[in-house]
Structure 1
Amino acid sequence: MSDETKTAELTALQAALAAEHAAVYGYGVVGGRIGRQRQSEARAAYDAHRARRDALTRDVRDLGGQPAAASAAYALPFPVPDAAAAVRLAARLEERMAGVYADLVRATTGDRRGSAAGALREAAVRAVRWSGESVAFPGLAERSSGEETGAAGATPSASASVSP
């Protein structure tokens, strides 16, 4: 692998790792606001993102990088005062993750590309489950809307808490 290819792959892995940190944080908020009927779905998504985060941490280290650390807190894209807003946040998180994993698919090869494609598929399926809507090309919808709010729909914040 050339140094240029390795650098591009490491950059994409770090972006995916940072997005997974934000998604884990976001699902912490979702879990605190979601209704009982969807708590197990939120917990499963939270666990899936934690597992992906841990795998990405290993991948970054395997390429000789220092894994990006999680921020203390993240600014959410909108207030999340109730279960309906929690569902919208979960859908937004998954849509953003699909975009990040689409970038990772482009930047990687071999097993990492296969893993990134699987993560893209999983994020797209979860996004449909949360939103009830699908897109033709998951991971590309964000780019056409002109939104620039961060990879997982949340941006790092210096505060340790989120006020809805």
Structure 2
Amino acid sequence: PAPITALQNALSAEHATIYGYGVVGARLPDDQQRTEARTAHAAHQARRDAWQRLLTSLGATPTPAAGGYQLPFPVTSPTDATRLAAHLESRLTTVYADLVAAVTTPHRLTAATALRECTLRAHHWGAPDTAFPGIPDPTP
């Protein structure tokens, strides 16, 4: 069903984001930024765990994490690291917008909260703001 597929997509995206934050944290020289990356990493681990529990309670087998993930670009500097963090969070806003549309109450509130949190973290890391995070701007 669509809600299970959307939940599996959210779980898979969280797996990839957790991996990505490992790369982000390794490239940040500033203690404050590393702390912020660790905090985001922990938040994504908690969200991943929540999706795994929910999927299991719905009778689905949660998608396992891959052994590794392809990064969207090389990350060799602190600037690349912050750009990757913004990319990871922005990508999750799209996944969570889809999840909000696919699930019903009470899970919709959880999905909307995840969307909000990713949007705020994306903004923190320098991603451009969008009117409706996770929903592409219409083409002219």
The match for 2:67 among 40, 52, 72 is: 72
2:81 counterpart of 1:86: yes
Cα offsets for 1:40-71 (capped at 9, x unmatched): 11011000000000000011111110000000
TM-score (normalizing by structure 1): 0.81
Runs of 5+ consecutive residues of structure 1 not aligned to the other structure: 1-6, 146-164
Residue in 2 aligned with 1:128?
123
Write the distance in 2 (CA, Å) between the matches of 1:35 and 1:89. 15
Residue among 2, 20, 24 paired with 1:26: 20
Q: 5 Å matches for 1:105-116?
A: 105-116=100-111
Query: Deviation at 1:144?
Result: 5.7
- One-letter amino acid of the structure 2 residue matched with residue 56 of structure 1: W
Q: How does 1:41-52 map to 2 (within 5 A)?
A: 41-52=36-47
| Counterpart for residue 29 of structure 2 | 35
Match of 1:117 among 105, 112, 115: 112
Name the counterpart of 1:140.
135
Instruction: List runs of 5+ in structure 2 lacking aligned partners.
Output: none
2: CA distance between counterparts of 1:20 and 1:55? 11
> Runs of 4 or more off by more than 2 Å in structure 1?
none
Letter of the aligned partner of 2:3 in structure 1? Answer: E
Sequence identity percentage: 52
Q: Deviations over 1:112-145 (max 9, x none)?
A: 100000000000000000016311110113x768
